[in-house]
Amino acid sequence: MQPSRDIAVLIDIMAALRTPGTGCPWDLQQDFQSIKPYTIEEAYEVADAIERSDMDDLCDELGDLLLQVVFHARMAEEDAAFDFGEVVRAITAKLIRRHPHVFGGQDTDDPALVKINWESIKAEEKTERAERRRARGQPIDEADGLLDGVPRALPALTEALKIQQKAARVGFDWKEAGPIIDKIEEEIGELRAAMTAGRHAAVSDELGDVIFAVANLGRHLDVDPEIALRDTNAKFRRRFAHIEASLAAEDIAIADAGLERMEALWQAAKDIERAIDAPAADRSRSA
């Protein structure tokens, strides 16, 4: 086998890895469930490379994600369910069908109308998919609630955002952000009460309510809570790295530094960030 730009070579490599007797013992041991966490992880690696604007890593991580698709398709082919070609056929058919303004002669340059058509076509596809499953004798979930289309395997913050967006489409939503802040404060009060009562299950429940309400506030402020939290995580990493570097320069083990000293270094890291950001803000105002 030699490296190649041809997708067929990747498919052949995956088949070789999954061939009993001559393939890779680890690859042969895998199934859909065991591979699923890797698929999710690789998607996050792609997102991380994008956030860092690292094109070398992005190319590499997209390859890792593509491998996951090929891996799942190979296992499905072994089960006589579908193969990689059918995956490609399905997505090309979907893209052509969902873009009648590009491939079907429909003339529109209105993004709002495109979105309406997209949702309408998705609903038609869902009905057709149910009919195919019924024809094959597969069980069909008759429940067709508004939120059924939101995957439960999404990261919790993303799932919360999509649930809220769906509910908002039928008017189950706050009109503005202000009352949501009141709701957050209400939920925090309930969390405090659960903490005081020492009821761990209730604490978990109320904490979830607080996070859900905060995610809803982000939606109303046009701030993706997942991205906001990732930015905060990155900020925490930077400031904590400053603490570590400063203590190392003083030959002090971080475990021996104490909270007061670490807090002082944390504030110093914040001051450094403000000093760096200030000239940029000044340039923006002068512009």
Measure Cα distances from 283 to 8, 104, 202, 278 in Å: 52, 48, 49, 9
Residue 36 to residue 128: CA distance in whole angstroms: 27
3-state secondary structure the chain: CCCCCCHHHHHHHHHHHCCCCCCCHHHHHCCHHHHHHHHHHHHHHHHHHHHCCCHHHHHHHHHHHHHHHHHHHHHHHHCCCCCHHHHHHHHHHHHHHHCHHHHCCCCCCCHHHHHHHHHHHHHHHHHHHHHHHHHCCCCCCCCCCCCCCCCCCCCHHHHHHHHHHHHHHCCCCCCCCHHHHHHHHHHHHHHHHHHHHCCHHHHHHHHHHHHHHHHHHHHHCCCCHHHHHHHHHHHHHHHHHHHHHHHHHCCCCHHHHCHHHHHHHHHHHHHHHHHHHHHHHHHHHHC
With 90 as the cut, is the pLDDT of residue 222 above it? yes
For residue 142, report the phi and psi dihedrals to the nearest 5 degrees.
Answer: -70, -20
Question: Which tens digits make up the pLDDT trace of 167-216?
Answer: 998 999 999 999 999 999 999 999 999 999 999 999 999 999 999 999 99
For residue 39, report the phi and psi dihedrals to the nearest 5 degrees.
Answer: -60, -45
pLDDT score at 212: 97
pLDDT score at 141: 61
Nearest to residue 45, comparing CAs of 26, 29, 67, 24?
A: 67
Nearest to residue 48, comparing CAs of 276, 56, 211?
A: 56
CATH of region 7-98 = 1.10.287.1080
Residues 36, 55 contacting (CB under 8 angstroms): no
> Is the overall model pTM greater than 0.75, yes or no?
no
pLDDT score at 168: 93
Please list, residue by residue across 203-238, b when 16 or more beta carbons sit within 10 angstroms of its beta carbon and e when fewer do.
Answer: beebbebbbbbbbbbbbbeeebbbeebeeeeeeeee
> Lowest mean pLDDT: which of 59-68, 93-102, 137-146?
137-146
CATH of region 156-220 = 1.10.287.1080
pLDDT score at 205: 97
With 70 as the cut, is the pLDDT of residue 140 above it? no
pLDDT class of 283 with cuts at 50, 70, 90: low
Examine domains 7-98 and 156-220 and report if their fold is the same.
yes
Q: What angle do CA 160, 161, 164 make, to 5 degrees?
A: 85
Token reading at 245: 């570097």
Q: Could you state, in order of their start, the residue ranges of all structural domains in the chain? A: 7-98, 111-144, 156-220, 225-286
Nearest to residue 73, comparing CAs of 89, 85, 61, 63?
A: 85
